[in-house]
A = this chain, B = another copy of it.
């Protein structure tokens, strides 16, 4: 809620040459060259330095030890190298000239860049092993120097992404204070090369200076895009390649909170945002901007192309949350920039700060009255939904919500319209059910004045403390025009039935603060033709991905925490669903309606007091199908509501409709419904979500579950075609009428059954049998489609599922009745 003061961090990437410049040695004001460099960098306006941790000497020694011949042609030198390697493996340590930093003060404000030649996903098992020891050695040294963050070399080999992840996971466990940030190009540019008709870029051969037998060093790296070795991946897989590797690695590391991304913008950004969106839901710690990412503007100063600008601004937006991850910008190669001569190094920093200052999100955030300003500090922060039925709210909570500039305006308008529409009568009776500190009471009075209708106004409130405020306002403000009733709306008795019943009991998901149950209790106040405001409300759902929310919800390792709903101002979140209908033609839109409640509800049997006999009529369930255009990981669902207050006056937090219905309304953040174990969803898949609103005599709760599907084309060999001529065609069995033979399946509602013909059984042939023309389901291939004339069709195949969440309300009731 405070203004945004701290500005984005900017770091500079130093090269080994930068660190080892001879002129640094001669400076009298600083004890070591690194201290001089740090002072210079700080003076230029940077907040931090990225420094390579090791020198070329380390790489040379490692190669001499570890890149050696095995097998038959071992000579004395090889054997000696092997022994040195074993001694190193036993007790890994650096020599002085193998590292760039040696002192604690040198390491202050330093982000360590781990040796980028560590191929933790090398094809070669033994090299991987030795690379991992080297990694552990470097990170242990960084920890020794109290360095906070180390940047890891990018993964390069999809086939061994799991090995990369396992090594990182071990490193995180061994260095509990260290943050590891995985450097990753925003996509794999090699893909693009291959696509444009060129042969796929083959990796540059690895030169192994000083190695006695380079032939045994076999970094036969598969292209990033190939899983395994012999099969090309589908293009979508290629586009997703880097993200998919990241996903494997962070999954293998079990979403470790100290693992983040250094997103490398060296590959030029595509303008289509679809593929890029997903990065917003990932833990970005740094964004690397090389000078090559800049272009020159008309005056020759460095600026970023439009796509990169908007991407950076999105990143900055994300960084304004109280996120664990406030990405810093790392500038690279700007010191001796050639292409953008104007302005020098300072121009790059200035430009990034300018981008930040003029970002619409930042501007809005610093402007009081905007949603951004109001919501600042709540972004991605998990709050438990209010349970006003169970708890009595604090005055401060009421005050916060009463500030909403839109919600009460719309309520007043709804009451006004209802009063205008109401038939002529001496007076109209209104009841505010759940009056709180009285905002709706005040609006009803204003609406009555505006509509020039005489009203009798009742106000019911069960919070004894708020009831004092109501009495106070009635005496001082409302001239005792309001009849106050203290008690639960399900128990209080009013002197007469009313014409209009006004309530504000809605939660982020509509019914999730038990509005239906409360209004069931208050409906007896309403005369048969009376009006309820709200008249109805709908709940909406969308699948989302957010490693941040996932990690927040499961903090503490309690299953309850991932089977509970939260109120969250979403920021580092990606909605996974796209517009339907998907290949399977059965998907709805990106955000789909779950269920609706209407008031008043007239068809429910009531007891003598006018209360429903059971809560059965408030049970709901829904199964929704979502189309998932781009691969992602499901971490849960976003829940929204939309309410009709009266006529065309409503309230909405549905992202696509809120601006039309109730723009700038602040009172509700969306609901976050987490799942325990993330579910991987491929590109172009379909997600089927089941959600239930359940009730027993005392509680109301939700349960939820999801399955994933993929659309497929298939061919079926025709029945006749493959039939073995030696076998007689069996008469097709009929159904049903096999009751007399004892089937369990005798009910008229059972699945129809094929009666067994003894003849069929005796020769033991059944059309399922391949010989008699079996269905031959598989995913179609090009060749086969040309070659076969069997039945063809399309369908979906199930590919995954989640657990049922919150079974029996074990973790979370949305309310107690």
Contacts and interface: CB of A to CB of B under 8 A. Distances in A.
A393 B371 CA distance: 71
A685 B83 CA distance: 45
A166 B703 CA distance: 9
A780 interface: yes
Interface stretch (A138-146, A439-447, A743-751): A743-751
Interface in A686-745: 688, 690, 692, 703, 705, 707-714, 716, 719, 732-733, 735-736, 738, 740-745
Count chain B CB atoms within 10 A of each CB in A229, A264, A620, A751 and give the residue with the most: A751
B83 A616 contact: no
A203 B749 contact: yes
Interface string A283-327: 000001011110110000000011110000000000000000000
A188 interface: yes
Given A230-B585, A237-B798, A292-B738, A196 B767 contact: yes
Given A203-B749, A254-B803, A228 B166 contact: no
Interface in A401-437: none
A170 B603 CA distance: 28
B291 A741 contact: yes
Interface stretch (A152-160, A547-555, A637-645): A152-160
B292 A768 contact: no
Interface string A182-194: 0101011110110
Contact of A796 (B237, B268, B749): B237
A155 to B, nearest CB: 9
A342 to B, nearest CB: 14
A1 interface: no
B707 A710 contact: no
Given A219-B749, A583-B778, A621-B125, A236 B797 contact: yes
A792 B232 CA distance: 11
A716 B192 CA distance: 13
Given A86-B616, A267-B754, A296-B758, A239 B204 contact: no
> Which of A238, A291, A614 has the most B CB atoms < 10 Å from its CB?
A614
A722 B32 CA distance: 59
Interface stretch (A519-527, A534-542, A769-777): A769-777
Given A290-B741, A614-B86, A166 B705 contact: yes
A369 B636 CA distance: 56
B333 A741 contact: yes
B742 A13 contact: yes
A536 to B, nearest CB: 16
Given A196-B767, A228-B586, A252-B804, A745 B185 contact: yes
Nearest to A16: B746
A93 to B, nearest CB: 14
Nearest to A794: B781
A268 B754 contact: yes
Contacts of A125: 619-621
A682 interface: yes
Contacts of A769: 270-272
B616 A248 contact: no
A4 interface: no
A760 interface: yes
B162 A690 contact: yes
Nearest to A234: B795
Contacts of A83: 605, 613
Nearest to A174: B808
Contacts of A616: 86, 89, 129
A291 B744 CA distance: 11
* Cβ-closest 4 pairs across A and B: A333-B742, A236-B777, A235-B775, A292-B741
Contacts of A154: 745, 750-751
| Max chain B C-beta neighbours (<10 A), residue from A113, A306, A716, A740 | A740
8 contacts: A125-B620, A189-B753, A193-B752, A268-B754, A291-B742, A308-B761, A338-B740, A713-B781
Interface residues of A, number: 191
Contacts of A292: 738, 741-743, 755-756
A367 interface: no
A284 to B, nearest CB: 15
A571 interface: no
Nearest to A684: B778
Given A305-B762, A751-B185, A779 B291 contact: no
A119 interface: yes
A366 interface: no
Contacts of A775: 195, 235-236, 238-239
B227 A169 contact: no
B603 A70 contact: yes
A592 interface: no
B795 A204 contact: no
Interface string A158-172: 011011011001100
Given A237-B797, A743-B292, A267 B756 contact: yes
Contacts of A201: 735, 752
Contacts of A183: 744
A682 B797 contact: yes
A713 B780 contact: yes
A173 B798 contact: no
A647 interface: no
Given A271-B769, A735-B189, A753 B584 contact: no
Given A749-B219, A775-B238, A779-B710, A339 B800 contact: no
A70 B188 CA distance: 59
Interface in A213-242: 219, 224, 227-239
A207 interface: yes
Contacts of A603: 70, 74, 82
Contacts of A738: 266, 290, 292
A623 B331 CA distance: 38
B87 A749 contact: no
Contact of A710 (B746, B752, B794, B799): B799
B613 A782 contact: no
Given A751-B154, A751-B156, A792 B782 contact: yes
A151 B90 CA distance: 62
A600 interface: no
A807 interface: yes
Contact of A169 (B233, B234, B623, B807): B807
A232 B797 CA distance: 10
A176 to B, nearest CB: 12
Nearest to A80: B605
Given A682-B798, A742-B333, A794-B231, A188 B239 contact: no
Contact of A797 (B119, B159, B683): B683
A373 interface: no
Nearest to A735: B201
Interface string A336-364: 00110000000000000000000000000
Interface string A244-272: 10001001111000000000101111111
Contacts of A272: 768-770, 774
A75 interface: no
Nearest to A119: B749
